[in-house]
Amino acid sequence: MKKKDVEAAKLLEESEKLGDFMLVDQPPDAVVKMRTPKVENYPTLQEPLEEILKLLRNEKIKGVGIRGMVGIGKTTIMKNLNNHEEVSTEGSPENLSKEHIQQAIVQRLELDIPESSDADRVARTISKELEEKKYLLLLDDVKKDVDLEELGIPDGKCGSKLVLTTRLGYVCSSMVNWVVNVRNLSQEEAWKMF
């Protein structure tokens, strides 16, 4: 006890040298920027991005689906959305198994959960961490319905939102309440890109 008392006194003395500041672990960055081509010069991709941003400002919209064929630019739009200055996100896990999505969220939120934890315990921990927070969850290339509650993702009570990309209409109809369809690039845009 005496040793701990000495350590505490030493820490207190050091903190006084710093003034009124208190040192704590910093929270994770709100957004982890991703490398991606810019879409400003490609109206076919810029227009859906702007539509998604507009939808995210609408309090009634809880989820937005980005739908289109393979290779059309859905992931590029999603990455530009992630990097956009208006977006503050808690994570953007790729389309993997339930456990992989949970682990991506746990890592992004820097939660301390033992690896041996079962999926239900992880879900409860994620849910507890997010229940009073406003977040934007980005899911790329979703190929089947995902039960967000089972993953520990609370419903969007605090204004939280979900944006996902998919090729499949039924995924959009079951998980989001608004769909943005992505069209093919015009021939001019395609040549400019390549």
Render pLDDT for 89-112 as a digit per residue (tens, 0 to 9): 434 444 456 777 788 888 888 888
Interval 149-181: pLDDT, tens: 888 888 767 788 888 888 888 777 778 888 888
CA–CA distance, 109 with 122 (Å, rounded to integer): 12
Interval 7-35: pLDDT, tens: 878 877 776 665 544 444 455 555 677 78
Residue, of 144 and 24, whose pLDDT is higher: 144
Nearest in space to 157 (alpha carbons), one of 59, 21, 10: 59
Structure tokens at 74: 């859905």
Interval 76-93: pLDDT, tens: 888 888 888 777 443 444
- Map out the domains of the chain with their CATH numbers: 27-193 (3.40.50.300)
Proportion of the chain above pLDDT 70, given as a percent:
85
pTM: 0.64
CA–CA distance, 184 with 66 (Å, rounded to integer): 13
The mean of the pLDDT values for the chain is 79
